[in-house]
Amino acid sequence: MAETAPPSTPARPPLVTPTRIACAVLLAAPFVALLWVGSYSRLDPAFIGVPFFYWYQLAWVVLSAVFTGAAYLLFRREETARAAVRAAAEGGGPE
């Protein structure tokens, strides 16, 4: 009885990519910056009369939104590219 070779599976892109690492760094940065309290536990420099402790945390609210949006866009772009590669490997067109 002749053995048949199993059907070849299309090559899958690596799970860990530079884009995904960048997304992880963008998402982790606010946590690290705000959990490291010793870095901002002071009053000076004040900004328009607001102590550093308060405006630093408020600035991170805006930065966190920007970083999360950037991570989303990067991840979304990579997923679109991966879907196109997967569709091309399967012989179909883009989804």
Mean pLDDT of 3-16: 66
Mean pLDDT of 11-37: 89
| Ramachandran assignment for 91, one of left (phi > 0), alpha (psi -120 to 50 degrees), beta (any other) | left
Position 94: which residue type? P
Quickly state the pLDDT bin for 89 (edges 50, 70, 90). Answer: confident
Q: How far lies 4's CA from each of 11, 68, 89, in Å? A: 20, 49, 22
Mean pLDDT of 20-44: 90
How far is residue 2's CA from residue 80's CA, in Å, rounded to a whole number? 41
Q: Cα-flanking dihedrals φ and ψ of residue 36, to 5°?
A: -90, 75
Give the chain's radius of gyration (CA, Å): 23
